[in-house]
Structure 1
Amino acid sequence: MAKKMKPAILVTGAAGALAKQVIERLRHDNQVVAVDFRQQVDLGEGIPSYRIDFNKRVFEDLFKKYHFESVIHLGRILSSQETRMSRYNANVLGTQKLLDLSNKYGIKKVQVLSSYHVYGANAYNPALIDESAPLKGANLTMDLVDSVELENLAIIYLWRYPNLNICILRPCNIVGPGVRNSISSLLSSQFAPALAGFSPMMQFIHIDDMADAIVLANKKNESGVYNVAPQDWVAYQEALRLCGCKILPLPSIPPFFPKLITRWINARSFPPYLLEYFKYPVVIDGRTFEKKFNFTPKRSLQEIFRFYRENKHPV
């Protein structure tokens, strides 16, 4: 009897900690192919890995070679990375190329990782933001235009090509071991700045839980747009205290605050648009995803904060 072939899955953004977690969960039962436009990643035996620009012709060769059943698109460039034009080329034009190839080669399931940032942060946000809320992020700052356009593009393809079964995930702050985003860097600092007079409610999801959510979504054939967040939240300054950070109250004077944070967390840059997310709450409602995919986060806020309390880096 011929050996049954494992289903082939394309995972983008392979250099990121989240993609590595997802690949580790999928590799036993699937033929995972990893790609990243930044670098080629060694993921061990049995995982083909490529450094490829999605807009180059060689990207299509992977679809011809591996006959993917599904695509998990985690390769979004953050606003703190690259120039605005290079982000647009990768996030929007690259995603369009990925979706076009998925439709051309009969992909049965596509996941697109977005972010709760697309909702925008302002004083008039409702207490819980569900998936029907408008995406106001691009109206507040040009730095989020490519993120919102990426989402809008995926939504257009979701309705135009129902055969792709596109599932768009909007997670809250992803944190935990290996995560290198701005909020994780702040939580792991000995000293962390906070805007004087502001301490908005925030949500955090452990990287392990987010990887579980992506794998669950890949198994079920449910298209649509879904927030991914636990049903608990905490004020930003309280989160800092629980992580063992000493809080430095600072005036919200742009560009003073972003530049200081950049120096404090030893990052390449701190996206100025994030300033608003340290002023106003953006609390998303993740109950639809939980019900439809039978998802329950396993890692509590206490576990998340304990990790950062016990793993401080010097500043």
Structure 2
Amino acid sequence: MTDLKQKQSRPHILITGAAGALTQQVINRLRDHCDIVAVDFREQVYLGDSIPSYCIDFNQRSFEDLFRRYKFDGVIHMGRIMSSQLTRMRRYNANVLGTQKLLDLSHKYGIKRVVVLSTFHVYGAVAYNPALIDEEAPLKSAGLSADLIDSVELENLANIYLWRYPDLNITVLRPCNIVGPGVRNSISTLLGSERTPVLAGFSPMMQFIHIDDMADAVVLAYNKTQRGIFNVAPEDWVAYQHALKLCGCKTFPIPSIPPLVPKVLLDTLKLRSFPSYLMAFFKYPVVIDGRAFAREFGFQPRRPLKEIFRYYRDNKKPV
């Protein structure tokens, strides 16, 4: 009888982005005391017999069937499609229209807790960024790159629903560069490469958070009902080219002016790990202030930079 009561009291959580390494870390941290349903827009992922997993478009009618069937208590939305994936229109449909559908269904079915994973890229990289960017700073990326518009619009949607429907208890997380084992984003690929391009004359300050620490941050955010928008980042940062040196990368400079030159070179070399839409982030520092999240959620990263860089130094992959 006790086991039955415990099973009935376990919260039901919908987690999106099941194919991602970070999402799977979050699932592993929650699976012992939560009933999880995992979904992904791109592929179906096997996560064990105890976790139902679906490959489904959020805009399909069948997506609502999951809400009816499982009666979720909470949602962790980590299914943002990166700018390097899919076409711009399909990415917009997934990130913006899909997120809107997810939040509408969350409101319709009485969800009481929503965590949305965003990115520090929404701030944009410009020469006059402040030394530490807090959560009140404007989101400039939409005006700088069409490839980041959907990331900003996803956040704007979450912000609208945060204030329109306070019962959803929405928390938006804006992490710095997430790196570590299994991470397949642009910066992780660059740190793990034997030869890495840099823009001549530029070495901006950067922040890195280990995938283990970021998974802990997501779980902390879900478990404490604190509405709002929070940066997630450690209190240390390092110059990009110095980080590459500590990771054992050999660098080769690319001319940075005029602006068309690096874009043409990168497209010619087909370096997907150094996409032109992120070029400004390799010119100008975007250092975010993570103190509010650390204070509100008691967050303290456990993986120092030297451990992160040692991993990439010991696990080199040729480009």
TM range (shorter): over 0.9
Provide Cα deviations, 1:36-92, integer angstroms capped at 9, x if missing partner: 010000011201000000000000010111111110000001111111111110000
Percent of pairs with identical residues: 70
Name the residue aligned to 2:108. 104
- Superposition map of 1:296-311 within 5 A: 296-311=300-315
Q: Is the 2:206–2:240 Cα contact (8 Å) retained in structure 1?
A: yes
- CA displacement at 1:257 relative to structure 2: 3.2
* Residue 170 (structure 2) aligned to one of 153, 166, 172: 166
Distance 1:104 1:42 in 2: 29
Q: 3-state SS of the aligned residue for 2:231? A: strand
**Counterpart of 1:85 in structure 2: which amino acid?**
M
* Distance change (3 Å), C-alpha of 1:98 and 1:276: same
Report matched runs for 1:286-297 at 5 Å. 286-297=290-301
Q: Distance in 1 between matches of 2:300 and 2:195?
A: 32
Offset, 1:262? 6.6
Of residues 5, 15, 31, the one that matches 2:19 is 15
Q: Does the CA-based 8 Å contact 1:186-1:265 persist in structure 2?
A: no
1:273 deviates by 1.8
The AA in structure 1 aligned to 2:5 is K
Is 2:76 aligned against 1:72? yes
Secondary structure of the corresponding residue to residue 105 of structure 2: helix
**Structure 1 length normalisation: TM-score?**
0.97
CA distance in 1, matches of 2:221, 2:267: 35
Structure-1 residue corresponding to 2:158: 154
Alignment-derived partner of residue 58 in structure 2: 54
AA of the residue aligned to 2:314? E
Letter in 1 for 2:168: L
SS in 2 for 1:304: helix
Contact 2:15–2:78 at 8 Å: present in 1 too?
Answer: yes
The one-character-per-residue Cα deviations of 1:95-149 (angstroms, maximum 9, x if unpaired) are 0000000000010100111000000000000000000000011011111111000
Matches for 1:1-315 after TM superposition, within 5 Å = 1=1, 2-4=4-6, 5=8, 6-253=10-257, 254=259, 256-258=261-263, 261=266, 267=272, 270-315=274-319
In structure 2, C-alpha distance between the alignment counterparts of 1:295 and 1:85, rounded to whole Å: 36
Structure 2 residue matching 1:283: 3-state secondary structure = coil
Matched residues in 2 for 1:42 and 1:225: separation?
32
Match of 1:3, SS? Answer: helix
Query: 1:256 deviation in Å?
Result: 4.8
Structure 1 residue 250 displacement after superposition = 1.3
Q: Which amino acid aligns with 1:239?
A: A
Helix, strand or coil at the partner of 2:242: helix
Give 1:255 deviation, angstroms.
5.1
- Structure 1: distance between partners of 2:248 and 2:92: 37
The aligned amino acid for 2:262 is F
Give, in angstroms, the shift of residue 271 of structure 1.
3.1
Task: Specify the SS of the correspondent of 2:5.
Answer: coil
> How far does residue 261 in structure 1 lie from its aligned partner after superposition?
5.0
Alignment-mate amino acid for residue 257 of structure 1: P
Mapped to 2, the partners of 1:11 and 1:144 lie a distance apart of: 23
Deviations 1:153-209 (A, max 9, x none): 100000000000000000000000000001000000111111110000000000000
- 2 CA distance for matches of 1:115 and 1:95? 15
Inter-partner Cα distance in structure 1 for 2:61 and 2:87 = 23
Q: Give the conservation status (yes or no) of the 8 Å contact 1:227–1:284.
A: yes
Distance 1:123 1:266, change over 3 A: closer
Answer whether contact 1:185 1:265 (CA < 8 A) is retained: no
Cα distance in 2 for residues equivalent to 1:53 and 1:191: 37
Deviation, 1:263, is 7.5
Equivalent pair of 2:142/2:152 in contact (CA under 8 Å): yes
